[in-house]
Amino acid sequence: MIKKIHLAAMVALAALAGVAQADRLDDIKNSGVLRVAAFDSNPPFGFVDAQTKQISGLDVDYAKELAAKLGVKLELVPTNPANRIPLLASNKVDVVLANFTITDERAKQVNFSIPYFASGQQFIAKKGVLKSPEQLGELRIGVDKGTTNEIVLREKHPSATLVAYDDTPFAFTALRNGNVQAITQDGPKLVGLLANVPDKENYEIPPFSISDDLIGAGLPKDEVRLTEYVNDFLRELEASGKAQTIYDRWFGPETKTPLTRIYRIGDK
């Protein structure tokens, strides 16, 4: 009971705080422009398209949909990873859609929406070798030296034999040669790697991940209404199937970098 009162008090306080500050959601609607920070050199999330010379990508598609729902014009602001929080804090942008991994540390400085993408630690193996995470403990697995992938895999599957290589191409050569039976990295990196392999039909990325980095939209700190608005927008996008359409445009089976969609908006 006391907990409930606490919660109610906190919600009321948060609402008050929201009211007390100028509300960004109204500002956006009044100005008629949504300013979104996006990557310009991180395909397929945000990059300059060689033909149109415009910034495009998965994150940009979300930005376009959000602007359409708000009924305002979209203004894209190119960013690099380091500038994402400063851009929000200095009121240069309203939303960051730039492969922004949700962490507790960052959540102290910005608001995050619910996740709309997950970049998980996945595996490449020869076709038919690896079907489920339970098999990992019996395999020899190539990892990149000094990555969190190595640490996570050892924690979750201590009986697996890990062989660490200097970088992903070396690990992949070891997989080709049969020195290891699988290699691990972040899913989007693995599809990028596989896209350039001449005999890629012999390999697959089994549709499971052993850890997830959740990607969310970054919003100004304490903008409760805007955050709720973006959350509702993301849920609607999943319900209408548009989220799947956007995903398929960049990671679908027809693309150069096919990756099975494991994470859906609303999953935890």
Among positions 158, 178, 198, 253, the unique one binding other proteins when judged by CB under 8 A: 178
Among positions 27, 170, 262, 266, the unique one binding other proteins when judged by CB under 8 A: 170
Smallest gap from residue 152 Cβ to other proteins (A): 11
Among positions 33, 174, 210, 262, the unique one binding other proteins when judged by CB under 8 A: 174
| CA dist., res. 157 & res. 1, Å (int) | 41
Q: Pairing relation of β-strands 117-126 and 95-96?
A: unpaired
Query: Site residues for other proteins, window 83-142 (CB under 8 A)?
Result: 140, 142
Q: Binding marks (x or -) toward other proteins, 136..155, rule CB under 8 A?
A: ----x-x--xxx--xx----
Among positions 177, 199, 241, 254, the unique one binding other proteins when judged by CB under 8 A: 177
How far, CA to CA in Å, does 26 sit from each of 68, 94, 129? 16, 12, 54
Strand partners, 111: 219
Q: Applying CB under 8 A, does 179 fall inside the site for other proteins? A: yes
Q: Applying CB under 8 A, does 202 fall inside the site for other proteins? A: no
Sign of CA dihedral 32, 37, 42, 48: positive
What count of other Cβ atoms lies within 10 Å of the Cβ of residue 150?
A: 17
Contact 104, 43 (CB under 8 A): no
Q: Applying CB under 8 A, does 166 fall inside the site for other proteins? A: yes
- Determine if the peptide bond prior to 81 is cis (ω within 30°): no
**Binding residues for other proteins (CB under 8 A):** 140, 142, 145-147, 150-151, 161, 163-166, 170, 173-174, 176-179
